[in-house]
Structure 1
Amino acid sequence: MRTTSKTLAVIATVAALTSACGTQPKPGTPDAANLPAVQDSAAAAAPSDGAPAGSNAQGRIPKKLGEAAGFTGQDGKTQAVTFSIDKITVDPKCDEYMNRAAGTHTLVLDVRVATEQLSPEDAAQLGATINPFAFQTVADGVTAPVNAGSCKVMSLKRLPNTWASNSKYTGQIELEVPAKSGTLALIPGGLTNAGGGWEWSY
């Protein structure tokens, strides 16, 4: 059969489509469950495609305190952000003149964050993820939203409002929650679509 330029163009197109159909990770997806703990620098992770390995029925990855979580950058290949919740303090003594709302409880999260090279989209997702309003609690099978707390307003070691590439941060997040114990869930980017994110027992 004589090979024409039109035939060669079709073959090249099919080859390109076949190559593009590999299992490439989706940008911004949560890390695999075996991501190593955060040390002095950001931990590298193997991004995952679809439901992350080790996720539960809600699509979230259970984490222990101090265990790293994170997400890949917009390129879908490199780890953009690694973070951990190192400690959860329940109902600490409130600052002078401050108090918690009746019928609620206070959680203070000690958080570490390490960034790699961030695109503007990565930085925006980080800001929307490490954010009080991206959290939910689950207690007795009931999922509830949380609010920013008003108990430790004066003494809280706050995280920054903006994020730089190749940087490390430590700070605290205060949450006002309905239950004294349960599961704390973090939805990446504050998204409300099903699946994704991480959770910690408290």
Structure 2
Amino acid sequence: MFPAARPVRVAALLAAAGLVLVTAACAVDATAGGAAPVPTPSAGTAVSTAQTTAAAVATQKAGLTPQGFLPKVIGQQAGWDCPGSTIDSCGVKFQVTALETNPQCAQYGRAPAEGRKTLLLRVLMTTGTLTTDGAGAAPAIFAPFSLKGIGADGFVHDAQPGNCTGQEGALSATILPNSKYEGTVEIEVPESVTSVASAHQPARDGSRGWVWPVG
């Protein structure tokens, strides 16, 4: 379904892009209601503790999960390679339009092993003008090696490519500028997974990807 991955190169591209993940909603989330009061550290508090607290507060203000992911609901648009502060400026706009658990396998498909499940993401992606780094990073957003399954217990699991539904209708692995794409991404994760995230190296604002709930 996907070409041989080069995680080191892709991670470098994602980190080099260094662009804030923006959506129309996230700007509102960052300011609406105000952040919770920050406790004043007592005298003698270790610097490392203060730094950890500051990082947690920054994550809270940005509307990110404790892992640094920007929460999205099914059908909500997200963006990457964004020179401006709104999603309209993004070179890559995408959304997970549906997320199906344990779909019916193709005739020669293979169901997941006991204790695991198949997730089928339906993705819509639109590109405009892309920077060099954006063009290199765009195909990795929904590559299996970028996807992580997260359980309610906080455990994070690397997703594995699924073998249930087959290649027909799969999202293209080649993402070109000024183009539109629609397709599926199939992964296999532990049964305990309750959300799926697309992860990259931390950006300058502390964000490191997006996360969607598993129904």
Amino acid at match of 1:34: A
Q: Distance in 1 between matches of 2:202 and 2:158?
A: 11
Q: Following superposition of structure 1 onto structure 2, how do residues 122-141 of structure 1 map, counting pairs within 5 Å?
A: 122-139=134-151, 140-141=153-154
> Larger Rg: 1 or 2?
1
How far residue 56 of structure 1 moved from its aligned partner, in angstroms, is 2.1
1:30 corresponds in structure 2 to: 21
How far residue 192 of structure 1 moved from its aligned partner, in angstroms, is 7.6
Question: What's the CA shift string for 1:98-150, capped at 9, x where partnerless?
Answer: 21231221011000001110133211100111211111011122111111100
| Structure in which a larger fraction of residues adopt helix | 2
Q: Following superposition of structure 1 onto structure 2, how do residues 122-201 of structure 1 map, counting pairs within 5 Å?
A: 122-139=134-151, 140-154=153-167, 156-179=168-191, 181-188=193-200, 191=201, 195-201=207-213
Does residue 1:58 correspond to 2:61, yes or no?
A: no
Count of residue pairs brought into register by the alignment = 159
Q: Distance in 2 between matches of 1:96 and 1:87?
A: 23
Question: What's the CA shift string for 1:45-98, capped at 9, x where partnerless?
Answer: xxxxx868321222111111000111124xx33411110001011001111122
Q: Distance in 2 between matches of 1:32 and 1:113?
A: 14
1:98 corresponds in structure 2 to: 109
Amino acid at match of 1:31: V
1:121 corresponds in structure 2 to: 133
1:65/1:200 contact within 8 Å kept: yes
2:80/2:134 contact within 8 Å kept: no
Amino acid at match of 1:60: F
Gaps of 5+ in 2: 1-16, 28-57
Asked which structure has the greater RCO (Cα within 8 Å, sep 6+), the reply is 2
Amino acid at match of 1:173: V
1:107 corresponds in structure 2 to: 119
Identity %: 28
